[in-house]
Amino acid sequence: MRILVIEDEARLRDLLERTLRGEGYAVDGVGDGAEGFERASGGGYDLVVLDVMLPTMSGLEVAMRLRRRAARVPILMLTARDTVDDRVAGLDAGADDYLVKPFAFVELSARVRALLRRRDGAAEGELRVEDLVLNRVRREATRDGVRTELSAREFALLEHLMKNAGRVLSRDQLLAAVWPRDFDGGPNVVDTYVHYLREKIDRPPPRQLLRTVRGVGYVLGR
């Protein structure tokens, strides 16, 4: 996942970049509206964090121009004042969500995740492996027509296993893909969550989908 941060305040831009990198995203930062627009319209970004007050081209203008070019990249706008007019202007210009400065970085991370989820859900809807279906919008799995709700971590783990169906994944690979970088537990937590998932979505052999590959890790699908 690659994120473009367009913010002219160097200190804030630096903090934004570091926060998002800490969440595992690749991040590019620019401090100028026109340059930001050029970068964003070149494509290759999964999300744009966009300040409103920028030199050479305002954030509102950047958002409008991107939408005029039919760029569908999610835009999270950073506004300085919380007035209804500012919010409406940002959303009218094509932003998907906004944050009012000063904001907490945990909230920024949560909004970014939500926007990326929304985009993934809209783009791909559901994942399917044999008779297991994962609905990424409602965050629920269906097997044998029985719907099961998943916790955030169970969902992320199952999604990763389904995207890589048929491929053996080690505990370390699963840990790196699904758990936050600063998670300080060991790879045994993966076993715990695989157990939870089995209880929820799996069936006994020969209908078992989530198999243990002894000494290596796990694989979903036959």
**How many residues interact with Ca ion (rule CB under 5 A)?**
3
Of residues 5 and 134, the one with the C-beta less far from Ca ion: 5
Shortest distance, position 114 Cβ to Ca ion, whole Å: 23
Of residues 13 and 139, the one with the C-beta less far from Ca ion: 13
What residues between 32 and 71 interact with Ca ion by CB under 5 A? 51, 53
Shortest distance, position 59 Cβ to Ca ion, whole Å: 8
Phi and psi, residue 100, nearest 5° = -95, 130
Q: Which stretch binds Ca ion (CB under 5 A): 6-14, 120-128, 152-160, 178-186?
A: 6-14
Cβ-closest position to Ca ion: 53
Of residues 48 and 157, the one with the C-beta less far from Ca ion: 48
Of residues 49 and 150, the one with the C-beta less far from Ca ion: 49
Shortest distance, position 54 Cβ to Ca ion, whole Å: 6
Phi and psi, residue 212, nearest 5° = -90, 130
Of residues 51 and 154, the one with the C-beta less far from Ca ion: 51
Residues 1, 8, 117, 156: which binds Ca ion (CB under 5 A)?
Answer: 8
Q: Tell me: does residue 202 bind Ca ion (CB under 5 A).
A: no
Shortest distance, position 11 Cβ to Ca ion, whole Å: 11
Beta bridge partners of 4: 28, 48
Rounded to the nearest angstrom, the gap between the alpha carbon of residue 171 and the centroid of all alpha carbons in its chain is 21
In the complex, the residues that contact Ca ion under the rule CB under 5 A are: 8, 51, 53
